[in-house]
Amino acid sequence: MLLDTLRRLSLRLTGVIAIAGAGLFPSFPLAAESAKTDWRTSLELLEYDWSHLAGAEVTAAGVRIEGLGRAIIPPADAADEPVTPNPPINLRGPILQVKGEFYLGAHLRFEGAPGGYVTFYGDLPLVQDEWRQDGKSVTLGVTDQQLIVEIQNGIGDYRRQEYPFSPAEEATLELARVAGGFVIMADGEVVGDIDDPGIFSSGEVVFGAHADVGRAFVLTRLIAAPMMPGSRVSVIDPELPSVEPDPVGLRRLAESHAPHLAIGTAVSAIPLLSDASYARILAQNFNMLTPENAMKFQAIHPQPDRYAFADADAIVEFAERNNMAVHGHTLVWGEALPRWVTETAFTDAQVQRLLADHIATVVGRYKGRIASWDVINEPLQPFAPELRTGSPWYRAMGEDYIAFALREAHRADPVARLYINEFACEERNAKSDGLYRLAKRLLERGVPLHGIGFQMHEDMTEEYQPVNAEAFRDNVQRFIDLGLEVRISEMDVNLHEEDSPERQVAQAEYYRSLLELAVDQPAFSAFSTWGFTDRYSSLQDWWEPKGFGNGLLFDPQMRPKPAYDALRQALVRHR
C-alpha cells in the first residue's frame, strides 16, 4: 500500500496521471483553501511566495533557481579554512506544518547540465558574524550523474548518500517520512531508505532551493501530502509583523526623554522571520536596526554579476512596517569578502570599479530607506594605529580607498549619514589616536564623513574591567569637536563564565553608565547593541546548541535581564 501510494504521488507530481482519477487524493486545493485539509489532500507549495528567495525568479514555468555560491568566509586569522556554504532559504515563503507520515516531491527542469538542490528544513540554521550553526534538514540534489541525499541533524551530525542517477532535461525528487525513516525516490523509483533521527520533530518544514554556480533549473512543482489516516499537512503563509511599541519600553522612553538618540540593535534575518518572540521584542523596544550579516559583502554580493538582497530587503521592510530606522552595515571591510573578490587577479583599476559598482548598487537600492551607513568597517590594525594593508581595497588604492568609498556612498545617497566603525578605540590609546588623525585628514580634504561608530564590545571578569564611561567621554569629545556625530554601535558586555547575579548587576550598571553618557551628549546619534537576546548572539558557542552567551539585554528565554531594567531607568531619570 505504501509503495503504491508513493508511486501514485510521483505520477501526480509529473503530471502523468491525475490523482483524483485514482481515487487516492480527490482534492487538490488552492493556497487559500489549505489551512485545514483532510489526510487525503495534497498541497502545491509553489502557489505561495517564492519571490523573496535569493537566486530565485518566479516565472510562468515555475521558480527559476540560479546558482549563487553564497558562503561564509572564514575570518582573517583562519583564512586557510574552507568556506561554509550558506544556501538561500525561503524565509518568507510557505511553512509546512506536518503531523505523522508525509510526502514531499519536487520536479526540476534543468537549463543545460543537470544540477540542482531542494532542502527541507526542520530546524533552521543560525548565522552569527562569521559562523553558521547548523540546524536540521534533508537535502535532495542532482549533480554529476548522481542523486545526492544529505541529512543534517544539528551541529556536527552530517550524513551524505550518493546514488547513480542520470536524468536528461528534468528530474523528480521525492522524500517520504514513513515508519521512522525516509524513503527516497527519483523519477518514480525507490532508490533508498534512511533512518530519520528526528529531522522534522519541530512539526514544521521550511524550504530552500539552490544550484551550483554556473547552473540553473526551474522548480516546476513542489507538492506535499499526508501518507496515512491521522497524518496531516497544512500551510502557514507568513507575513512581516506589525507590532505596537511597548509604552514603557526602551524606544518609547528614548523618544520621550532623549529624542536625539536612536535606540538600536543588530538584527539577524533568520530569527526575525522565524521567531515571533524575537520580532515582537525587537519592535517593542528599538527604533533603529542594524543588519548583522545580511548586508556584508559575502551575503549580498556572492558572485561578480549576482546580488542576493532577500534577507536585507526583509530587514528593511520590517523596519519600515514598524516605523524603525535602519543603519546599514557594512559597505567596505577587509573581511567577509567572497573568494571571487580576494582570489581573482584584478588590476587596481578593476578593483576600484568593482568597489564603486558595489556601493552604487547596494546604497542605490536602499536610497531614502536607510538613514546611515557603516561605509568603512575596522580600517585600523586590531590594536595599533596603522591602517590594515591586506584588503584588496588598500592594495589597489592605499589609504585613498577610504575617501573613495565615502564619496561613492555619498554620490549614491546624498542624504544618508556616513560612518567609520571601529573597535578598541573607546579610550585614549594609540589606536584611537590613529582613528582621530584619520578622521581629521578626511575632513580637511572635504570627504563626506559624518560620524564615528565606537563598537563597545567589552569584557567584564575578575581580571578585566571594561573602559569606564568617563574615559570614553574624554576620548569621544575630541571627535565631537571635529564636528562629527558619534554612536555606540555594537555594544555587548561579555561576562564569560562569571554569570552570577552579582555580576549581572555590575553588567547592568555598566550599560546604564554608557547610556547616560549618550543621553547627556546631543552629538550621540545612537546607542546600539550587537543583538538584544542571548538566544541569538555572536557571543554564543557555534559548536554547542545551548552554549548561549550572556552579554546582552534579554536572556535565552527572552526575559529581560537587569541590564534592560538599568537602561529603562537611565532613560526615565533623564528629564
Active site residues: 378, 490
Largest Cα–Cα separation, the chain: 80
Distances from the Cα of 232 to the Cα of 94, 100, 221, 457, 514, angstroms: 16, 7, 20, 47, 52
Measured from the Cβ of residue 509, the count of other Cβ atoms closer than 10 Å reads 12
**Is residue 130 helix, strand or coil?**
coil
Following DSSP, what letter does each residue of 525-566 receive, concatenated? EEEEES-SBTTS-TTS-TT-TT-----SSB-TTSPBPHHHHH
Contacts of 36 (CB under 8 A, 6+ apart): 234
**Is residue 512 helix, strand or coil?**
helix
What's the 3-state SS for 18-72?
A: CHHHHCCCCCCCCHHHCCCCCCCCCEEHHHCCCCCCCCEEEECCEEEEECCCCEE
List, in sequence order, the alpha helices (H) in 398-533: 400-412, 430-444, 469-481, 501-520
C-alpha radius of gyration, the chain, whole number: 25
Burial zone of 259 (CB within 10 Å; 0-12 exposed, 13-18 middle, 19+ buried): exposed
**DSSP state for residue 76 in the 8-state scheme:** G
**DSSP state for residue 157 in the 8-state scheme:** -
**DSSP state for residue 467 in the 8-state scheme:** P
Phi then psi for residue 240, to 5 deg, are -65, 130
Distance CA(200)–CA(384), nearest Å, equals 49
Distances from the Cα of 230 to the Cα of 148, 269, 401, 522, angstroms: 31, 35, 63, 63
Pair type for strands 71-72 and 84-85: antiparallel
Reported as type and span, the H/E element at residue 186 is strand 181-186
Q: Which amino acid is at 214?
A: G
Which of 539, 98, 162, 128 minimizes the C-alpha distance to 294? 128
Which of 401, 403, 398 minimizes the C-alpha distance to 446? 403
Query: For the sheet containing 95-99, what is the strand order?
Result: 158-164, 146-153, 136-143, 115-123, 204-210, 95-99, 232-236
List, in sequence order, the alpha helices (H) in 275-391: 276-285, 297-300, 310-321, 339-342, 348-365
Distance CA(573)–CA(570), nearest Å, equals 5
Cβ contact 203:99 at 8 Å: yes
Cβ contact 226:41 at 8 Å: yes
